[in-house]
Chains A and B, each alone.
Chain A
Amino acid sequence: MWEQIRSNRIRSVILVIAMGMLLVLLGYFLGLYFFNSAIGGLVIALIVWIIMSLFGYFQGDNLMLTMSRARKIGRDDHPRLYNVVEEMKIASGLEKMPDIYIIDDTALNAFATGRDPNRASVAITSGLLQKLSRDELQGVIAHEISHIKNRDVLLMAMTSVLLGTIVILAWYGSRFLIFGSMGGARRRSSGGGGQAQIIILIVALVFMILAPIMAQIIYLAISRKREYLADASSALYTRYPEGLASALEKLGASTGQLKSANKATAPMYIVNPFRKKGLKFADLSSTHPPISERVRILRTMAGASFSNYDQAYRQVHQRGGSIIPATGLAAGSIPLVKTKPKKELDEPDEIQRARETSDLMWRLNNYKTNPCACGVKLRVPPGFREGSITCPRCGRKYPV
C-alpha cells in the first residue's frame, strides 16, 4: 500500500512536470509574440497559475462541495452510511474520519474531495444511497476513500488547475491574435525582423491550438489511471470486489445525468456524470474507463491484492502492460472473502432504503415529519404558521 503511494508520487510528479512544461512553453511563445519578450509571457503564465493553484489548494474542496450542492450529515442522520464510511476508514488506516455529504439528486454518483487525508470529505447522491445494498455501498465508499488515501484528490485538483491555466491562456491568446492582428501587425512589422516574426507567430499559433489538447490528454490519462487504482484499492480494503462490481453495474445501468456536475468537476466522480447509455467510452476523450470493463476486471480477480487486480486487468485486456506500478505488486495474492462471513440479517430492501433516504432529505431541508396513526407521513414545511395540521386521509388533527 505504502509503496503504491510512493510510486504514485513519482509518476504524478513526472506528468505534472510535463503539463508544467506545456504551460511554460505556451507562456514563452505568447510573450515572444505579444510583448516581444519571453519573460513577460512567462511571468503572466506563472501569475495566473499561482493564483489559481492557491485558490484550488485552499478552497478547492469547498468549491467542489458548494458547486454540487452537497449537504453535510452526521452519524444520527444516516447511521448505516456513517458506519460504512467509518468501516472503510478503519480498513484503509486513514487517521481522521472524513466528513460525509449528501447531494439531493436522483442520479447515481459519488465523489471524494479534500487536499490531504486530514481534511477530506466523501459525497454521495441520495439516488445512489437508496439504490445500493450495504456491500455495494461499502465498495463505492472504499473506492472514494482510496482516492483520499492515494492522494488522488490533490493530484487531480492541481492538474486540473494546470489544465485550466493552459486553456485560459490559449483562449485569450487566440482572441488577441485574431482581434489584435489588424492594428498590431503594422506596429510589429515596422519594428523589423519580419521573417522571425512570422516563425514566432506560427509557433505561437500551433502552441495555442495544441497545448490545451495535449494538456487535456495528459489530464485524462492521469484521471483514468487513478480510477483503476482506486478500484484495485477498493477490492483490497473490502476483500470483496463483487460489492463494487455490482454497484458499478447499477451505476452503469442508469443514465440519469447529475444536474450539478460540470466538465471541470467530472473527473472527481466515481463514474462519468455525463455518460450516455450504449456508448462505450474507451477512447482518449473520457475521464473514466468504461464501466463494463471495470466490472469485468473486478469479477475476474482471483484475490484481493494489487497483483490480483493487475492479473485480472491483463486478462481482460488480452495484451501486455500493467496498470499497477511494479512496486505495488510485491504483496502477492490475498485471499478474497469468498462468501460474506455473515449474512447481514434483515438488511433493508430498496423500498425501505428509499423511505429512509427521502426522510433524510426532508429532514435536511428542515421539514418536520409527523407520522399519522393511519400510516400517512405528514411533512411540515419549515415556515408553517398554522397551529395544527389535519391528516388528509383520516382527518385526525395534530398540533405542530
Chain B
Amino acid sequence: MLALWIVLGIVGVLVIFFIATYNGLVRLRNQVKNAWAQIDVQLKRRYDLIPNLIETVKGYMKHERETLESVTNARNLAQQVASSGAGTRAKAESELSSALSRLLAVVENYPDLKANQNFLALQEELTSTENKISFSRQYYNDSVLRYNNKTQMFPSNFIASMTGFKADEFFEVTVASEREAPKVSFS
C-alpha cells in the first residue's frame, strides 16, 4: 500500500514538473515570436520611410545618384526577402543599414538640406527607427537565448525534444564594413 502511494507521489511530481516546463517553453517561444513581430514592425516602418527620404533629398543631392540608388536597391532587396528566416533577412537588412548611413553621412555636405524642417523630422524618425530596430533585435536575441537555453539544458531538454520545441536562430548583424578594421594610410 505504502509503495503504491510513493509511486503515485513520484508520478504526480513528474506530471507537475512536465506541465510547468512545457508551459514555460510555450511562454518563451511566444515571447520569441512577439519579439520577432516587433522587429518586423520596425523594419516595415523603415521601408515606408525610405521613399519619403529619397523624395526629400533628391532635389538637393544632384550629384549623389549612386548613393541614392544603392539605398533604394537595398530597400527593395530587403523587402523581397522579408518573409525568409532570420539569417538571410539579417544580411539584407544590414546592407540597407549601411547604405542608409552612407547617405546620411553625405548629408553633411548639404547645408541647405540640413536646414529643411521636413528633412529634420524625417531624420529624427529614421534615427529612431534605426534605434528601435537595434533594440528590438537586442530583445529578440535575449529572448532567443533564454528559449534556446531552456530547450538545450538538462532536464527541460527532454521535454523540449519530446514535444517538438526546437532552438531558434539569432538575428546577427554581419556587415562587412563593420567587421573590417578601418584602413588608415600614413602617406
User: Contacts A79-B125, A83-B124; is A345 near B35 (CB within 8 Å)?
Assistant: no
Is A86 among interface residues, defined by CB-CB distance under 8 A? Answer: yes
The 25 listed contacts between A and B (C-beta, < 8 Å) are: A1-B142, A2-B146, A79-B121, A79-B124, A79-B125, A83-B124, A83-B125, A83-B132, A86-B132, A87-B128, A87-B135, A90-B38, A90-B42, A90-B132, A90-B135, A91-B136, A91-B138, A91-B139, A92-B139, A93-B143, A341-B134, A345-B104, A345-B107, A345-B127, A346-B120
Contact B124 A80 (CB under 8 A): yes
B180: A residues at CB distance < 8 A: none
Expressed in whole angstroms, the minimum distance between the Cβ of A232 and any Cβ of chain B is 15
Query: B116-135 interface mask toward A, CB cutoff 8 Å, 1 = contact, 0 = none?
Result: 00001101110110111011
Residues of chain A contacted by B146 (CB below 8 angstroms)? 2
Q: Which residues of A contact B35 (CB under 8 A)?
A: 93
Give which listed residue, B42, B101, B128, B142, contacts A342 with CB less than 8 A: B101
Q: Which of A84, A237, A346 contacts B123 (CB under 8 A)?
A: A346
Question: Which B residues lie within 8 Å of A283 (CB)?
Answer: none
Tell me if B108 is interfacial: C-beta within 8 Å of chain A: yes
Q: Is A147 among interface residues, defined by CB-CB distance under 8 A?
A: no
Q: B114 contacts the other chain (Cβ, under 8 Å)?
A: yes
CA–CA, A93 and B139, complex, Å: 7
Nearest CB in chain A: distance from B22 CB, A: 17
Closest to B173 in A: A341
| A-B pairs, 5 with minimum CB distance | A83-B128, A91-B135, A90-B135, A87-B131, A90-B136
CB distance from A241 to the nearest CB of B (A): 15
A294 at the binding interface (Cβ < 8 Å): no
CB nearest neighbor in A for B35: A93
Most chain B CB inside 10 Å of its own CB: which residue of A80, A86, A87: A87
Confirm or deny: A386 has a beta carbon within 8 angstroms of a beta carbon on chain B. no
A324: shortest Cβ distance to chain B, in Å?
17
Determine the chain B residues whose CB is within 8 A of the CB of A91 once the complex forms.
135-136, 138-139
Fill in one digit per residue for A85-107: 1 if any B CB lies within 8 Å of its CB, else 0: 01110111100000000000000
Interface flag for A239 (CB, 8 Å): yes
Chain A residues in 8 Å Cβ range of B107 = 345
Q: Which of B143-157 contact A (CB under 8 A)?
A: 143, 146
Interface code A1-27, partner B: CB below 8 Å = 1, 0 otherwise?
A: 110000000000000000000000000
Task: Known A-B contacts: A91-B135, A93-B31, A346-B120. Give 14 more (CB < 8 A).
Answer: A2-B146, A83-B124, A83-B132, A86-B128, A87-B128, A88-B135, A90-B135, A90-B139, A91-B139, A92-B139, A93-B143, A341-B134, A345-B127, A346-B114
Complexed CA–CA distance, A271 and B114 (Å): 36
Kindly list chain B residues whose C-beta atoms are within 8 Å of the C-beta of A87. 128, 131-132, 135
**Residues in chain B near residue A342, CB distance under 8 A:** 101, 104, 130
In angstroms, Cα B150 to Cα A2, docked, is 13
Give Cα distance in the complex from A383 to B142, angstroms: 53
Closest partner residue, chain A, to B31 (CB atom): A93
Chain A residues contacting B143 (CB-CB under 8 Å) are: 93
Chain A proximity of B37: nearest CB distance (Å): 11
Interface residues of A in 226-251 (CB under 8 A from B): 237, 239
Report the nearest B residue to A86, measured CB to CB: B132
Beta-carbon contacts of A72-85 to B below 8 Å, as 1s and 0s? 00000001100110
The docked-state distance in angstroms from the alpha carbon of A249 to that of B138 is 27
A341: chain B residues at CB < 8 Å are: 134
Pair A345/B123 contact, Cβ less than 8 Å: yes
B178 closest partner in A (C-beta): A341
Within 8 A of A (CB), among B28-85: 31, 35, 38, 42
Cα–Cα, bound, A83→B131 (Å): 9
CA–CA, A346 to B111, complex, Å? 11
CA distance A16 to B127 in the complex (A): 43
How distant is A135 from chain B, measured CB to nearest CB, in Å?
Answer: 10
Interface code B86-130, partner A: CB below 8 Å = 1, 0 otherwise? Answer: 000000000000000100100110000010000011011101101
Residues of chain B contacted by A86 (CB below 8 angstroms): 128, 132
B135 — which chain A residues lie within 8 A by C-beta?
Answer: 87-88, 90-91, 237
Residues of A within 8 A of B130 (CB): 342
Which one of B121, B127, B138, B139 lies within 8 Å of A344 (CB-CB)?
A: B127
Within 8 A of A (CB), among B166-184: none
